[in-house]
Structures are given as C-alpha cells and as structure tokens.
Amino acid sequence: MKPRVLVVEDETSISEPLAEHLSRDGFHPQVTGTIAEATTAYEVAEPDFVLLDVMLPDGDGRDLCREIRRRSDVPIIMLTARGEEVDRIVGLELGADDYVVKPFSAGELVARMRAIMRRGRAGSEVTSKSPIVIGAISIDPSSRVVTKDARDVQLAAKEFDLLLLLMSRAGEVVPREQIMDEVWDPHWFGPTKTLDVHISWLRKKLEDDPSHPRYITTSRGVGFRFATPADVKD
Ligand code: CA
C-alpha cells in the first residue's frame, strides 16, 4: 500500500506541484489548506506522514504539530519560510522530525522523508524487543508502553526513544553525542539543548522528585546515566 501523506499547505503554488511529485514517487498525497481541514483529514485518514506549513490561514502549524505529536508518532516535516522562528531546536522540541526551508525542491523533501522512514525501520530492528524493568519503571519496546508503579506513563516519541536507549544501557554513562546520534540525527552537529529539555520532561514524568533524580542522573559535561536495579533498591 502506498504511504499516505497529509500535506498541510495553503499556498497552492507549493502544494500542487508537491502533490504531483509525491504521487509520481509512490506516495498517496492528500492536500489540505487549513488547520481545520487538516485536523479532520488527519482523523479520517490516519496518514503515514505529515508535511506541515507553519503560517496557515486559521492558525499556527506549530500548534497542530504539538497536537498531532500528543496523539501519535507519525513522522512530521515542517515546511517553513525563511525568517520564521522555527529553528532546528524549536522544530525538534515541537516533536517534528525535520524541517525544510522554502523554497525547497520536492526531490530533496522526498529524500528526507525516505531517510526518516528508513531510520524508523532501522531503529525498530536494532532495539531489543524484551521489556526492561528497573525499580518502579518498566519499558516495553514492542508495545512502546512505559509504566511507573504499574501505571501507564504517556511519552512522546523522542522521550520514548531516549528512555529506551538509557534503560537498555542502565548503569553506563551514555555520552551526549551518542544520544544525539542515536535518538535524533546521525549527522547532528548543532547545539544539544533539546536533549536537556527531553531529559527534564522524562524526569518530570518518571522521578518522584524531579529536582533530585534517582533514575536519570547527569554526568556533568559527559552525558546521562540510567540507574541499575541495585541503585534504586530502597
Ligand atoms: Ca502558509
């Protein structure tokens, strides 16, 4: 089945040629021009990929990005105009997988879409499939369910990937660069503030006292370490 791509873009001079290109490349595009239309289309079609403009007639695409990310792991690429305040970090903090700056070539965009889809598949192949339980926290890589004290904890896609990496290497300090490589982008060379932001989100969701973490500790200047079962035994 062709991957379904929801295109949210109000400029038809961009969306029409893009949709043609996507069809030729084996995708099934659906074009919408407003947040309202996109929200309905998203619920009906459950797309495999979302391409999302920032400035839309009825609102900000970044809000829609957050909204979609709260519900699903579907890959999202933001389509931004030069000068819009969506730098790399902001885009990633919104939960978007990547962004392109207009004008972009449809060929380049499709290459990035394929890279994200490959990464998703590769990630699921290399990761262990057995659940890991440390102290009160458990993570199940196959169902992507995380619990604390047997209660479900809702995590965004990147938070989950980050937690899985740290828990599968419990007791080791995992260097920041390696985390950026494995969880974000294999060619990361920018600032890593997004990593600290995600760590603080994870602590808020998982630690009894996020300001004095027991599970995820910082090794200053190096990286982060997830506790071993012995570390968190009361
Ligand atoms: Ca626009």
Q: Where are the domains of the chain?
A: 4-124, 129-226
Q: Which CATH class is domain 4-124?
A: alpha beta
Give me ligand 1 centre to Cα 175, in Å. 39
122-125 long-range CB contacts below 8 Å, 24 or more apart?
A: 123/161
- Whether cis (ω within 30° of 0) applies to the bond prior to 131 is no
Give me ligand 1 centre to Cα 54, in Å. 6
Give me ligand 1 centre to Cα 58, in Å. 10
Give me ligand 1 centre to Cα 168, in Å. 42
Give me ligand 1 centre to Cα 105, in Å. 17
Cα–Cα distances in angstroms (integers) from residue 85 to residues 78, 108, 156, in the given order: 12, 22, 22
Give me ligand 1 centre to Cα 165, in Å. 37
| 3-state secondary structure (DSSP) of residue 79 | strand
Give me ligand 1 centre to Cα 60, in Å. 9
Quick: pLDDT tens for 181-227. 788 876 666 677 889 999 999 999 999 999 999 999 999 989 999 99
* Domain covering 129-226, topology: Arc Repressor Mutant, subunit A (1.10.10)
Give me ligand 1 centre to Cα 111, in Å. 22
In this structure, the number of other CB atoms found within 10 A of the CB of residue 172 comes to 14
Give me ligand 1 centre to Cα 53, in Å. 6
Give me ligand 1 centre to Cα 143, in Å. 36
Mean pLDDT computed over 3-7: 95
* Cβ contact 96:113 at 8 Å: no
**Strand-pair partners of 147:** 138, 152
In the predicted structure, residue 229 carries a pLDDT above the cut 70: yes
Give me ligand 1 centre to Cα 158, in Å. 27
Rounded mean pLDDT of the chain?
87
Give me ligand 1 centre to Cα 178, in Å. 36
The pLDDT assigned to 88 comes to 53
In the predicted structure, residue 92 carries a pLDDT above the cut 80: no
Quick: pLDDT tens for 114-157. 888 877 654 443 445 688 999 999 999 888 899 999 999 999 98
List the single range of 2-6, 38-42, 86-90, 195-199 with lowest mean pLDDT: 86-90
The pLDDT assigned to 162 comes to 94
Give me ligand 1 centre to Cα 52, in Å. 9
Q: Please list all protein residues whose beta carbon sits less than 5 angstroms from ligand 1, which is an ion.
A: 10, 53, 55
The pLDDT assigned to 6 comes to 97
Please, what's the b/e burial string for 6-23 (b: 16 or more CB within 10 A of its CB; e: otherwise)?
bbbbbeeebbeebbebbe
The pLDDT assigned to 141 comes to 87
- Give the number of residues written for the chain: 234
The pLDDT assigned to 226 comes to 96
